[in-house]
Amino acid sequence: MIQKILIANRGEIALRIIRACRELGIKTLAIYSEADVQSLHVQLADEAICIGSAKSGDSYLRADRIISAAEIADVDAIHPGYGFLSENSKFAEQCESCKIRFIGPKSQTIKIMGDKSVARQTVAKAGVPTVPGSDGPVDSESEAIKVARKIGYPIIIKAVAGGGGRGMRIAHNDVSFAKEYHVAGAEAEKAFNNGSVYIEKYIQNPRHIEFQILADAYGNVVHLGERDCSVQRRHQKLIEESPSPFLTSDLRKKMGKAAVRAAAAAEYENAGTIEFIVDSKGEFFFIEMNTRIQVEHPVTEEVTGIDLIKEQIRIASGEKLNLDQKDIEFRGHAIECRINAEDPARGFTPSPGTIGLYYAPGGHGVRVDSHVYSGYTIPPYYDSLIGKLITHGDNRKMALERMYRALSEYLIRGIKTTIPLHKAILSDPVFIAGKATTAYLEEFLSRTPPDLF
Amino acid sequence: MKRSELTEFAVEEEGFKLKIRRGHNGTPVVTSNGGPPPSASAESAASPAPAPASPAVASGDDKEEPGITFIKSPMVGTFYRSPSPESPPFVEANAKVSENTVVCIIEAMKIMNEIQAEAKGTILDILIENGQPVEYGQRLFRIKQA
């Protein structure tokens, strides 16, 4: 078993990882930027090393300094969390060559699945349905437009090095296609250093339903059910729940099997997520695989009772999965609201600053994953996620009511947060009826006066 | 390297130990001293323990006297005073340095990086022991500026 882990991340996920390590008796090393000196994870870790100044590019993204810290502190594994270097195959490779275990899949897998076009082709070979589209990246505008006409508009142009909702452009006809194609390539080049793009049919207003995967180093792969993440704003998830109110048990079985096939086709190891989009008729299509632990992993933990971070550590330690698919049970319903330091009444402007009073909700079926506290100053250099509120109930109605109750108790004074937005969504008939697709949030915002927040 | 004392299940309540110190541009960086433990909920067992101040953040002297400055580590690694085990140290106390004077080596991932003073003056104190690991921003030498 791994003895000491360096947490190459910050905020709530760093805290989450430390908690799992504590329970497993594993020592923890926090690395941090000068802006995070007062961060909870830095205070709670067994050891901490400052690795740079505030900007991520000078700290959390500095693979060399992170590995240097790992060496001087003699750690045997690094947990990359999500974001930052978690899907950076070069970083995973550096860990491998320094004989430090990277808690995640092999660097080669990250590389393959990180190319969204290759990922498509890899899973398609295993019989996993993918969105109709180009067979790989398109090399020229003329080739691209041929593909677009063949699959039929509307189409979406995606960066092969993109993902997570970034680097995508939609075209509805030949005329707009030319412009969107060039803009997509230029944006991709600028954002990801890779201007290569591929084409997919644009499925209108799908639901975003993803499956959690666990795989060990011995070829065993299981899925832990789905998460419906359709409530998104500009491709950023706000609310996630499990099970999806849309899936029938047949469709769940089919998609679960497809997710396992997709992970096996990628020779996946450790925790990962297969993302699907599902249209109104129940047709599902693979869009990408996330080769890391995700923000919304607690939703799956509450429904299955399985601690995903501990499983990640065990798998990375070389243990065999002690779960068969038939052993995995799903109990009740869980929902998560991402609490961001943003002002929903003013276009979601970021609201960094010092938290005055902080009081988190509690009680049966309520879980709070947050690194903030009364008196904590949110640094402006990183993302705006300050916490996750997760509730669980015997059924969806109970989970939603509990979430509303918990949101009403949650006090975060001194900054603006998205708590009022979540309360409004949780009261909205469309959401309550389980009818939210990825088009939902924009539609909800268009008919909701901002002063409601 | 900072070590935090983990006493989360301690019977006594322990608050944060934080200090007021001058930031880089002279503005005070207020950090509370004592006060309620920053735990999110009353039931939370994890009451963050008082963290002994990290040498990189607030070492013993909080006031920076005029004319005194510090050479800080620009990287994470191991501090060496000499170019090799047999050689004499790059600098000793009272040595005069200019911007380009190499004052030490920080080894990171098997690469020996020569660290320059980037200041003109006299070395007053050497704050790190030979072979000690250092973090980013950690104070290495105290210098009286020329």
Phi, psi of A49 (to 5 degrees): -130, 130
List b or e across A182-209, with b for residues whose CB sees 16 or more CB atoms inside 10 angstroms: eebbebbbeebebbbbbbbbbbeebbbb
Specify the length of chain A in residues.
Answer: 453
Which residue carries 């943003």 as its tokens?
A: A342
**What secondary structure does DSSP assign to A78-101, as a single string?**
EE--SSTTTT-HHHHHHHHHTT-E
Q: For residue A221, what pLDDT is reported?
A: 98
Tell me the per-residue pLDDT of A269-308, one tens digit each, with 9 for 90 and over.
999 999 999 999 999 999 999 999 999 999 999 999 999 9
| Residues A234 and A256 placed together within one structural domain of the fold | yes
Strand, helix or coil for residue A316: helix
The phi and psi torsions of B141 (rounded to 5 degrees) equal: -135, 145
Largest CA distance in chain A: 61
Cis peptide before A379 (omega within 30 of 0): no
Number of domains present in the structure of chain B: 2
Residue type, A160: V
In a domain, B61, yes or no: no
Residue A83 backbone dihedrals phi, psi, to 5 degrees: 70, -160
* Domain count of the fold of chain A: 3
pLDDT tens readout for residues A186-215: 988 988 889 999 999 999 899 999 999 999
Q: Is residue B90 part of a domain?
A: yes
Q: Does residue A103 fall inside a structural domain?
A: no
A-chain residues within 8 Å CB-CB of B137?
Answer: 34, 50, 52-53
List residues of chain A with CB under 8 Å from any CB of chain B. Answer: 19, 34, 37-38, 40, 42-53, 59, 64-65, 67-69, 71-73, 98, 358-362, 368, 370, 372-376
CB contacts, 8 Å: A68 with chain B:
75-77, 108-109
Do residues A368 and A387 lie in contact, with contact meaning Cβ atoms separated by under 8 Å? yes
pLDDT at B57: 39
Mean pLDDT of all residues in A51-69: 96
Q: Supply the range of the domain harboring residue B33.
A: 1-54
- Window 42-101 of B: residues touching A by CB (8 A cutoff) are 42-43, 46, 48-49, 51, 54, 56-57, 75-78
Q: Is residue A19 part of a domain?
A: yes
A210 closest CA partner among A296, A89, A321, A131: A296
Residues A55 and A155 in one domain: no
Residue in A418, A385, A419 with CA at minimum distance from that of residue A403:
A419
Does B62 map to a domain?
no
On whether the CB atoms of residues B117 and B99 are closer than 8 A, the answer is yes
The 10s digit of each residue's pLDDT in A176-191 is 999 999 999 998 898 8
In a domain, residue A110? The reply is no
A227 is catalytic: no
Specify whether B72 is located in the same domain as B133: yes
User: For A75-115, how does the pLDDT look when each residue is reduced to its tens digit (9 = 90+)?
Assistant: 999 999 999 999 999 999 999 999 999 999 999 999 999 99
| Residue pLDDT, tens place only, B86-113 | 999 999 999 999 999 999 999 998 899 9
A361 in Cβ contact with A339 (< 8 Å) = no
Q: Are residues A24 and A164 in the same domain?
A: no
pLDDT band at B9 (very low <50, low <70, confident <90, very high): very low
State pTM to two decimals: 0.85
Domain span including residue A24: 4-98
H-only helix segments in A98-230: 107-114, 116-125, 141-151, 174-192
Q: Measured between CA atoms, how close is B83 to chain A, in angstroms?
A: 19
Residue A15 makes CB contacts below 8 A (sequence gap 6+) with A40, A41, A44, A369, A370, A371
Q: Are residues A339 and A289 in the same domain?
A: yes
Is B112 within a domain?
yes
CATH of the domain at B90: 2.40.50.100
